Chains A and B, each alone.
Chain A
């Protein structure tokens, strides 16, 4: 089934249903994988990449890279921005680049799959019949991965397309190459072979050059920092150019972004054009938050505050705790004493102090690094902690400052990077990711498999098998979105039951293989889609007769399709079910008409009541907001004065103001953001914090300490980069 599936895709949508029914009965056709089964009624391919499920080839211990890249790909706003910054390239240019790519060199196996030509459209034709693999255990991941490679298409990413973006080849352009290739490809499934990306990564970063097992969180941190740098470099260049010529038109991107709604995260509809004063800060806005460290000198009781940006939070773990508790502990008070004294500007000299870190600005995407690898003194090396740390599907942060904006922001878990193995120096990484409208999927290198929602809870650390969650990705969401999703979940479950029960009906398979030519800049999921695809004869996306039949459409809530443009497929399934029941229902409808009217009335009244309540609530909220606003304004004023005073009086380095410290930090060639780490003595955090306040007195002892640690500490990224500072 798979290979023929791909063939059809390459033959393409001009003749969608040709030969589907006969080939379906092909006895040699392998059983569709769970993912294929799930995507059977998926409808036309979208152009925002939200319905692509590509595995990633492992080049030997590159699972750290694969799992992180998958997480980033399914970070919807991140993907959208990568695709549209600085602009989306045309499919032709991508195709052109692909045809000129060097052939793929399979990393470790020389089977039929490996000899496939790089062109993805023909990749399927040379598949070895899977029956030969019979003796293998069909449930083993190895078998499934091999099958995924056999099934293809394999996107051979040995080319680069950076000229198209008018950027030098960087990690960012390689990443963009990957994302674009996946989005433009007409198959929903496949395997991507990110060889060029790895080359670029290894060229720039010595530590990733070996084929050793690497730390996924370190890679994430490096990737985000590098991408940030790449973009800013580009922006600076653009700004310089812009003095001569007008900015390139960006209308297309604009429509694109506004249409790729995630339902949870909202973006400014227009990407800010880089100017001298405001560079594009989309990456900052997604991942960056601000930590405030408040230090209270125990001698003079003076409190100094310092803001630091962070791209992810690293939290210490304790046995039998929750992520919430870990975050709470992150913000607990810490004594600075003995060798770790604080240099007080007020009373001068090193003093004992109390310090606590709180979150002042919440990021849109919160990446939480669970510090599973801990340095143990007696063993002289890192050890993996198998603590049971539970993480909920939703999260709010308790450790915000009093003046934080939206301190009750709701986050939802959407990706988990799992480390499997007994120690930090070996093992395997996989990613478990919640996709926009296909539920949770397991990404294990080449293999992609749908999983139950409860599967996500297998990695607390208390199960046999050494698999533990290592990095958690939470994204901003709203209460309403969560509720809506919970409703959709039930629907999805129902529709999945339906498809698995029915098997492949000819009509369904017709739809399955009907792949529309990708219109790269069209609008995904727009109502016009339904008109564009007449072959979906039963896909009544908005059946009005059912709206009146028992379910009154709420006047306040916008139509479903507008909120979740991606739900057409699900809807069509539902419609089918409805159609089957339509006749029966119609009969019953008349009988129940009277009762329904009553219900409708009832409902209406209920809604009025509810709105009354919400109005009252809104009023409260508005008042609160106004008051907060006022206090914030006054505080800002106060702060400004404070900063001025400080600069004028005491500080030679200007470390009193976060921004100047930050700038200084920025000029170095190092990573700008460490992950915000705290309280682990053998790790580097205290020095990290001190970087923004490099007062001579404080730095010296720290530096010595660092050197000591350097010998032991394997996680050298941060250290190396900070070493360059001093």
Chain B
């Protein structure tokens, strides 16, 4: 199916022809017990296994014949396959119904962009329910904090309704005249495209581009509700149509010369059958803004002019057409405008950033350029230094107010990014955090890390809820399954270096009696000798006492929430933290997994070696609730 690839732009080293052969993606179907997994709702079955081809090294790269394992040269980072999913729904023209999706792309988000009105309606309803129950519950339980809580809760609902949004939640950069958006709302064709054609480009950054030979026809004939996927593998970046019958053939494949794309995102606000804004961050620190329909692109942070470290994560700022946030591996968060030119960046603050982070306590957020700066002629729009260590992941809260950032320093930081203010710092049990996501209602944050744990944090209680052991190696991605979450029960999944997919259920009720679960778990371990038994009961009573104590501290925290700049939370000892066991654990690949996404009809996983596996949800049972809901929404 491939067009004959154009000759590489670089002269090949003589004699090394065979290694530069380009291979195609393959799609395989497998059957058998090892390609299924069982959860309470039924059996998930492997639909297909799409193997993305790893491209050969660029011809200009000298092939490494005998690698020196002790070579001390610093190798640029790379990343396993991650997916950005997007569905273009032409019916979705009603802007009142439109919800700016916050946790936009990549596999870590809880919701695909492929929302049609049915899903959306269901979600709206969900959120409203949550709001009601939460409000009443919170009021009963702790009237003092209810005002803040309820406002927090109502925000998703408010933001779900685009027209109301501005009344409560400020948009990012609002109030800064220099950033006031140019009125460019319109259909895809009228949207501004990047400047350069990627196919005709003679940039040394892009090696070559292979569009599908019948791209235009495929775009017209495809199921318009179907899902597009953008995927990175090695130095290649592929645009795939997951709804196509031959989904192994990429719509377009871009090969970069040296840089690996580590992360990418599609702007949900501007997607249109004729327009998609894709940004991707590379290991060489350059960022590409790519519009696949017109095959145009622009290069931002060219040669690292603004920040010269690799981009670990990139995401469009919720509700913004032009601005996206990228996390660089030197611990800096930078907001860029896709349409602005780069300018050599000098910190606008007079504080020397390097020194202030070290001498100060670590827990600061140094604004090296504020979003409120009046100098907005060029990129960056804003720049915040939050750590000396690499940032590994971040996620926007569903209410578009907060940002959860995790990194190699083992810290989860909650940032009020509208006010550029740090509110909380939580620490891992040990080791780095690798991934983070928000619950659909914004109440909980999940992290995965090098302690092999998934950890649940409560934003309202401002404390750890539970640690979830079950992985045999580092956790690489976590995600909520929004189709199996309601106001009290949550389903989430995690994948890790151990090649395992784990599914977890937790409910609000269960979470408030953590010691019981803990003691039971320990009981199975410990011996039943008399002294031990007695000790256990004693410690249980201690825990109860502490529990009441910690409630008190919780209320203290609540008191000072609005005033204090941030709160640094100490590590909770193991004996005092609830543990949650997985409901399903299965090795689903031979290679370490790198991505996880929940779709309405399937779960998609991806691995380091390029396998993208689609797992069909159980046929009956699981759909019943959805059918009910959609039935209500349909009229």
CB–CB B452/A325 < 8 A: yes
- Closest partner residue, chain B, to A301 (CB atom): B528
- Chain A 463-479 interface mask (CB, 8 Å, partner B; 1/0): 11111000000000001
Q: Any chain B CB within 8 A of the CB of A237?
A: no
**516-547 of chain B: CB within 8 A of chain A:** 522, 525-532, 534-536, 538-539, 541-542, 545-546
Report the bound CA distance from A550 to B522 in whole Å: 51
> Are A390 and B497 in contact (CB-based, < 8 A)?
yes
Closest A residue to B592 by beta carbon equals A320
- In the complex where A322-B474, A465-B68, A551-B356 touch, is A407 in contact with B574 (Cβ < 8 A)? yes
Contact of B450 (CB < 8 Å), options: A392, A482, A617:
A392
Taken together as a complex, chains A and B put the C-alpha atoms of A242 and B205 apart, in Å, by 77
Q: Which of B147-155, B346-354, B620-628 contacts A (4 or more CB under 8 A)?
A: B346-354
User: Are A617's CB and B570's CB within 8 A?
Assistant: yes
Question: A694-724, CB under 8 A of B: which get 1 and which 0?
Answer: 0000000000000000000000000000000
Residues of A close to B452: CB separation below 8 A: 322, 324-325
Partner of A638, one of B359, B527, B531: B531
Interface mask (B350-375 → A, CB under 8 Å = 1, otherwise 0): 11101111111110000000000000
Nearest opposing residue in chain B for A497, CB measure: B354
Chain A residue at minimum C-beta to C-beta distance from B350: A588
Given contacts A402-B526, A407-B574, A322 and B358 within 8 Å (CB-CB):
no
Write the chain B residue with the least CB distance to A466: B69
B409 adjacent to chain A (CB < 8 Å): yes
Counting CB contacts under 8 A, is B473 at the interface? yes
**Closest A residue by C-beta to B546:** A620
Find out whether the CB atom of A581 lies under 8 angstroms from the CB atom of B352: yes
B542 pairs with A627, CB closer than 8 A: yes
Query: Is A101's beta carbon under 8 Å from chain B?
Result: no
Q: A487-B362, A614-B570, A627-B539 are in contact. Are A463 and B564 (CB under 8 A)?
A: no
Q: Which of A437-488 contact B (CB under 8 A)?
A: 442, 444, 449-452, 454-455, 458-459, 463-467, 479, 482-483, 486-488
Establish whether residues B574 and A613, one from each chain, have CB atoms under 8 Å apart when the complex forms: no
A contact residues around B389 at 8 Å (CB)? 486, 489
A619 pairs with B549, CB closer than 8 A? yes
Chain B minimum-CB-distance residue to A458 = B69
Query: Do B545 and A623 touch (CB < 8 A)?
Result: yes
Q: Name the contact of A610 in the complex, choosing from B354, B530, B563, B568 (C-beta under 8 A).
A: B568
How far does the alpha carbon of A398 sit from the alpha carbon of B525 in the complex, in Å?
A: 12
Q: Does B4 lie at the interface of the complex (its beta carbon under 8 Å from any beta carbon of A)?
A: no
Q: How far is the CB of B72 from chain A (nearest CB, A)?
A: 5
Contacting pair A612 B556 (CB below 8 A): yes
- Inter-subunit contact A639/B531 (CB<8 Å): yes
Q: Interface readout for A281-292 with B: 1 if CB under 8 Å, 0 if not? A: 000000000000
Q: Interface of chain B, helix or strand or loop or mixed?
A: loop
A635 to B566, CA, bound (A): 42
Q: Which residue of B lies closest to A354 (CB)?
A: B527
Q: A320-B472, A390-B497, A395-B431 are in contact. Are A303 and B410 (CB under 8 A)?
A: no
B429 A396 Cβ-Cβ under 8 A: yes
Give which listed residue, A141, A616, A642, contacts B70 with CB less than 8 A.
A141
Bound-state CA distance A642–B355 (Å) is 59
Query: Is A303 within 8 A of B529, CB to CB?
Result: yes
* Size of B's binding interface in residues, CB under 8 A: 81
**Are B473 and A320 touching (Cβ within 8 A)?**
yes
B358 touches which one: A294, A442, A491, A634 (CB < 8 A)? A491
- A134 interfacial by beta-carbon distance below 8 Å: no
Whether a CB of chain B sits under 8 angstroms from the CB of A624 is yes
- For residue B15, CB closer than 8 A to chain A, the reply is no
Q: Cβ of B532 and Cβ of A617 under 8 Å apart?
A: no
Please, which residues of chain B bring their CB within 8 A of the CB of A442?
70, 72
B431:A402 contact, CB within 8 angstroms: no
- Closest partner residue, chain A, to B575 (CB atom): A407
A420 and B352 form a contact (CB under 8 A): no
Residues of chain B lying within 8 A (CB to CB) of residue A465: 67-70
Contact assessment for B542 and A624 in the assembled complex, using a CB-CB cutoff below 8 Å:
yes
Counting CB contacts under 8 A, is B418 at the interface? Answer: no
- Asked whether A725 is an interface residue with its Cβ less than 8 Å from the other chain, the reply is no
Contact A620 B357 (CB under 8 A): no
A169 interfacial contact with B, CB 8 Å: no
- Whether B556 lies near A616 (C-beta < 8 A) is yes
Residues in chain B near residue A398, CB distance under 8 A: 469, 574
B633 in the interface (beta carbon within 8 A):
no
User: Contact between A486 and B497 (Cβ–Cβ < 8 Å)?
Assistant: no
User: How distant is the Cα of A523 from the Cα of B501 in the complex, in angstroms?
Assistant: 55
| A residues 271-304 in Cβ contact with B at 8 Å | 294, 296, 301, 303
User: How far does the Cβ of B545 sit from chain A's closest Cβ, in whole Å?
Assistant: 6
What CA separation (Å) do A2 and B354 show in the bound complex?
32
Complex Cα–Cα for A30 and B238 (A) = 48
In the bound complex, what is the Cα–Cα distance between A578 and B352 (angstroms)? Answer: 10
Q: What's the Cα separation between A395 and B75 when bound, in Å?
A: 25
A593 within 8 Å of B by Cβ? Answer: no
Q: Using CB atoms, name the residue of chain B closest to A413.
A: B431
Give Cα A373 to B472, complex, Å: 21
Q: In the assembled complex, which residues on chain B have CB atoms less than 8 Å from the CB atom of A407? A: 573-575
Residue from the set A403, A411, A444, A486 with the largest chain B CB neighbour count within 10 Å:
A486
Is there contact, CB below 8 Å, between B388 and A490?
yes
Tell me how far the C-beta of A300 lies from the nearest C-beta in chain B, rounded to whole angstroms: 12
Check B549 against A623 for contact (C-beta < 8 Å): yes
| Residues from chain A with Cβ under 8 Å of B177 in the complex | none
A145: min CB distance to chain B, Å: 12
**Is A115 interfacial (CB-CB < 8 Å)?**
no
A464 to chain B, nearest CB (A): 5
Contact check, B67 vs A464: say whether CB atoms are below 8 A apart. yes
Residue among B431, B471, B575 making CB contact with A392, cutoff 8 Å? B431
Indicate if the CB atoms of B358 and A463 lie closer than 8 Å.
no
- Which residues of chain B have C-beta atoms less than 8 A from A34's C-beta? 72
Kindly state whether residue B451 has any CB partner on chain A within 8 Å. yes
Contacts of A660 in B (CB 8 A): none
Residue of A nearest to B354 (CB): A494
A133 within 8 A of B: no
Cβ B362 vs Cβ A483 within 8 A: yes
Does B498 interact with chain A (Cβ within 8 Å)? yes
Residues 593 to 644 of chain A near chain B (Cβ within 8 Å): 602, 605-606, 609-610, 612-614, 616-617, 619-620, 623-624, 627-628, 630-631, 634-635, 638-639, 642
- In angstroms, Cα B470 to Cα A201, docked, is 45
> 1/0 per position for A302-320, CB-CB distance to B under 8 A?
0101000000000000101
Whether B553 and A617, one on each chain, are in contact in the complex, defined by CB atoms closer than 8 angstroms, is: yes
Residue of chain B at shortest CB distance from A483: B362
Residues in A neighbouring B362, C-beta threshold 8 A: 483, 486-487
CA of A212 to CA of B214 in the docked complex: distance in angstroms?
64
Given contacts A320-B498, A449-B72, contact A403 B535 (CB under 8 A): yes
Known A-B contacts: A491-B355, A620-B549, A638-B531. Give 18 more (CB < 8 A).
A301-B528, A320-B473, A320-B499, A325-B473, A398-B574, A452-B74, A454-B74, A465-B70, A467-B69, A479-B427, A482-B410, A550-B351, A588-B350, A605-B563, A609-B564, A610-B567, A620-B550, A623-B545
Which B residues form the contact surface with A (CB < 8 A)? 64, 67-72, 74-75, 331, 350-352, 354-362, 387-389, 409-410, 427, 429-432, 450-452, 469, 471-474, 497-499, 522, 525-532, 534-536, 538-539, 541-542, 545-546, 549-550, 552-553, 556-557, 560, 563-568, 570-571, 573-576, 592
Q: Measuring CB to CB, which residues of chain A are less than 8 angstroms from any residue of chain B?
A: 34, 139, 141, 294, 296, 301, 303, 305, 318, 320-322, 324-325, 328, 356, 388, 390, 392-396, 398, 401-403, 407-408, 410-411, 420, 430, 442, 444, 449-452, 454-455, 458-459, 463-467, 479, 482-483, 486-491, 493-494, 550-551, 554, 574, 578, 581, 588, 592, 602, 605-606, 609-610, 612-614, 616-617, 619-620, 623-624, 627-628, 630-631, 634-635, 638-639, 642
Between A and B, 14 residue pairs with Cβ closer than 8 Å are A34-B72, A320-B497, A392-B451, A394-B431, A402-B535, A410-B430, A479-B571, A551-B359, A606-B565, A609-B563, A613-B556, A635-B532, A635-B535, A642-B531
The 6 closest A-B pairs by CB, nearest first: A465-B69, A490-B388, A467-B69, A392-B431, A325-B472, A303-B527
